Structure 1
Amino acid sequence: MRGVRADPGAAARAAARLTVARRLVVEADGGSRGNPGPAGYGALVRDADTGAVLAERAEYLGVVSNNVAEYSGLVAGLRAAVAIDPSADIEVRMDSRLVIEQMRGVWQIKHEDMRRLARLASEIVDPARVTWTWVPRAQNGAADRLANLAMDRKTSHVSDVAAPPLGRAPRPSGAGVRFDDEQPVTVVLVRHGQTTMTVSRGYSGSGVPGPPLDETGVRQAHAAADLVDRVGRDLWGDIPYPSLVIASPMVRTQMTGSIIAERLGLPVRTDPTFQEANFGDWEGLTSEQIEERWPGQLEPWHTQANLRPPGGESIEDVGGRVRRGLEGLLAEGVDRTVVVVSHAVSIRAVLGVTMGAQPSSWSQLRVAPASVSIVRLFEDRRNEVAVVGAPSEGWGGRP
């Protein structure tokens, strides 16, 4: 019987068939203020398994139609995805049913500019590797934000996010002095963005859900999310990339936490331990109104630390509460980074507890809207404050 000649490429082809392709998600949007009018697009690429943002694209297009802007966002998103991994399977998510159905071949494309862009999209990546998904507008907020930024600023934006480094950078110059390899839990503290109460300088505590972020606050939250996403990448390379997002139950912190969590590809865990101080009967009042109704009590509340507003918490009460929260995070494990979205008084308390400072001095710490502070908690309690404060739009205001 004649032997059968072996095919040297058979094994490789069989292995290739068994290889699972990487999955990427492209989110794209476009808009035109006037249709046609000043237009721009936004697109981003996520890892399908983790939700992490890998690339962002935005561009001002001049005067074009809304549909052309949407198609332009699609093309930019596909190009970014192919640049990350040419062999990846891609899911496109857009809130334009027109673009999705036309790219699926269900609806005809009549406009020549749109036909040209659709052909270009099909040439960028094999259509057989693309899944087309329509999503409600509310689920396409990240791409919509990029498109609006492009239109507002009449500029372009390109961001390719490097993966977290495989190795940990050495402890940097200026870090707390240690002579061991003990690893802490790192807590990235983010104050919520601006609200109407921030602007009015009212005391907005945990006794009520509180107001939502205003437009400036939303922009601040996105800026904070961009900064937090750099932890463990090109900033603070000795710190692990965040693996958990916690937010106080107030509306403003939930909104800020959701924006940060979306950027990191993580869910949000709600924890009332890190909610704002309960101001009791002072809720919603300005410092002038509090002084008028309770003469001589507001300043001692900040500096004597054990004075409670009627029906509210003292600074010491807040300190005890956040101390328990920090101990819980430490008990859950070290060598990880947790993002905690909280409030001015509570963040001051976390910083004060970490430094071992007296509660009467905590009010000297300035915690601006959407600012970022980092504390590192070691099991031997030789804790470290890594940084306090980070640039953000529109700093100022009351808790």
Structure 2
Amino acid sequence: MTRRLVVEADGGSRGNPGPAGWGAVVRDAATGALLAERAGYLGFASNNVAEYSGLVAGLEAARDIDPAAHVEARLDSKLVVEQMSGRWQVKHADMKRLAELARGVLPADQVTYTWVPRAQNGAADALANQAMDAREGLWRDHPDGDGPDATPPVEPQAPARARRPSGAAMRFDDAEPLTVVLIRHGETPMTASKAYSGGAVPGPSLTSTGRIQAAKAADTVFRIGRTLWPDLPHPSALRASPMVRTQETAGAVGRRLGLRVELDEAFRECDFGEWEGLSADQIEERWPGDLKRWHVDAEFRAPGGESIEDVGVRVSGALERLRDEAVGRTVVVVAHSVVIRAAIGATLGAPSSVWASVRVGPASITILRLWADGEREVTVVGMPTDL
């Protein structure tokens, strides 16, 4: 018999737009038992973006409980209910993106949408306000359905950190490093066509596949310090390259983690100059031999653009800056293929001529650890999250 779950979701913005947060709970439809609570802080956003963010998180929580369940999503936003039910068009770009994310969580025939009065959505509203007050997120599951009924949840205790596992970098003290989780952005039209898409042009946006990849990467990163790599601190900060594709990917991660996205120019993609938008074959036809030279000659720049070494210098400086700000934490950085290869290569002390040997797929995860005394560890390289 198919299980039935209820998602109650809400979001708010103090200023519209202004400081915004969302909340969501999942209940058993038959008993009303509380199964999961989620909350997140968005930073500066609108009411509608917050409401959609709560819906996405609530559906993801329901999917985690039972991916085959039928879900009734209850919201006090008439706009979101009507748009997700297909009766109203979604015109705003941010809401289009979030609506597509929501539709990608579960098959359409497993989800229905119901409008409820605000008074009947008190638990989700309380969570959204808690996130805005604390400016941080919350994650709590009640697998036995023993959670409090329609009351603000207790802030969960962080799970005990696991000891450093076998195979980790050798240390003879208890010094804690900075952990950097590098995520490549999801697929864009230029990723699919294998064209060079650099840091001098803001676009393009993610494709629908890229948005799904971003959501899956967010789910994976959310598990760090819990069920994945339990010896690592759970992420507490989120940075992103200022390109559209990285901001969109980071938005999915931020909603999942309840973290605000901070933009960092140092992590923008390599400037490909006149090669922007061209395929490797097109570059070879117009500049014979130059693309290969760019990969192996540290100082050779793309015409009107950067060399791989240029990227390595700014990325290395950014990693050192993050390390000097504070160790003992995990910072997520959403960036690009050349940037992530440079970060790996610089961490290993490898020459830039071999950096292109590392595969960094769309929405893949790489984890580096940097100690204050200069010791380093490459924990994960290019792990796919869309399997």
TM-score normalised by structure 1 residue count: 0.66
Shift in Å, 1:337: 0.3
Residue type matched to 2:107 in 1? M
- Are residues 153 and 383 of structure 1, via their aligned partners in 2, closer, same or farther at CA, if it must alter by over 3 Å? farther
Q: Does 1:303 align with 2:301?
A: no
- Are residues 161 and 188 of structure 1, via their aligned partners in 2, closer, same or farther at CA, if it must alter by over 3 Å? farther
| Equivalent in the alignment of 2:160 | 167
Shift in Å, 1:240: 0.7
1:151 to 77, 94, 107: 107
Answer yes or no: is the 8 Å Cα contact 1:24–1:45 preserved in 2: no
| Equivalent in the alignment of 1:87 | none
Distance in 1 separating the partners of 2:40 and 2:301: 49
Shift in Å, 1:144: 6.9
Q: Does 1:96 align with 2:78?
A: yes
Shift in Å, 1:44: 7.5
Tell me, what secondary structure is at the counterpart of 2:334?
strand
Q: Deviations over 1:345-368 (max 9, x none)?
A: 000000001111111110100100
Q: Deviations over 1:230-267 (max 9, x none)?
A: 01111111111111110000000000001100100010
Distance in 2 separating the partners of 1:48 and 1:309: 41
Answer yes or no: is the 8 Å Cα contact 1:56–1:160 preserved in 2: no
| Equivalent in the alignment of 2:337 | 344
Answer yes or no: is the 8 Å Cα contact 1:243–1:337 preserved in 2: yes
| Equivalent in the alignment of 1:46 | 38
- Identical aligned pairs, as a percentage? 46
Answer yes or no: is the 8 Å Cα contact 1:316–1:359 preserved in 2: yes
Distance in 2 separating the partners of 1:342 and 1:99: 34
Shift in Å, 1:152: 4.9
Residue type matched to 1:306 in 2? E
2:306 to 304, 313, 319: 313
- Are residues 365 and 292 of structure 1, via their aligned partners in 2, closer, same or farther at CA, if it must alter by over 3 Å? same
Answer yes or no: is the 8 Å Cα contact 1:184–1:335 preserved in 2: yes
| Equivalent in the alignment of 1:57 | 62
- Are residues 282 and 147 of structure 1, via their aligned partners in 2, closer, same or farther at CA, if it must alter by over 3 Å? closer
Distance in 2 separating the partners of 1:137 and 1:57: 26
Shift in Å, 1:150: 2.4
| Equivalent in the alignment of 2:261 | 268
Shift in Å, 1:223: 0.4
Distance in 1 separating the partners of 2:80 and 2:372: 56
| Equivalent in the alignment of 1:381 | 374
Residue type matched to 1:319 in 2? G
Task: Show structure 2 runs of 5+ residues with no match.
Answer: 1-20, 27-34, 43-52, 83-91, 113-138, 143-155
- Are residues 96 and 305 of structure 1, via their aligned partners in 2, closer, same or farther at CA, if it must alter by over 3 Å? same
| Equivalent in the alignment of 1:277 | 270
- Are residues 227 and 293 of structure 1, via their aligned partners in 2, closer, same or farther at CA, if it must alter by over 3 Å? same
Q: What are the within-5 Å matches in structure 2 for residues 1-399 of structure 1?
A: 25-26=23-24, 45-47=37-39, 56-58=61-63, 72-74=72-74, 93-96=75-78, 145-146=101-102, 148-152=104-108, 161=141, 165-393=158-386
Q: Deviations over 1:137-192 (max 9, x none)?
A: 95697687445532258599xx9758564421100111111111111110000000
Tell me, what secondary structure is at the counterpart of 2:214?
helix
- Are residues 188 and 148 of structure 1, via their aligned partners in 2, closer, same or farther at CA, if it must alter by over 3 Å? closer
- Are residues 320 and 164 of structure 1, via their aligned partners in 2, closer, same or farther at CA, if it must alter by over 3 Å? farther
Answer yes or no: is the 8 Å Cα contact 1:352–1:362 preserved in 2: yes
Answer yes or no: is the 8 Å Cα contact 1:57–1:146 preserved in 2: no
Residue type matched to 2:163 in 1? P
| Equivalent in the alignment of 2:18 | none
Task: Show structure 1 runs of 5+ residues with no match.
Answer: 1-22, 29-42, 63-68, 75-92, 101-135, 395-399
Residue type matched to 1:26 in 2? A
Cα RMSD between the aligned structures?
3.3
Distance in 1 separating the partners of 2:201 and 2:93: 29
Matched length: 295
TM-score normalised by structure 2 residue count: 0.68
Answer yes or no: is the 8 Å Cα contact 1:249–1:270 preserved in 2: yes
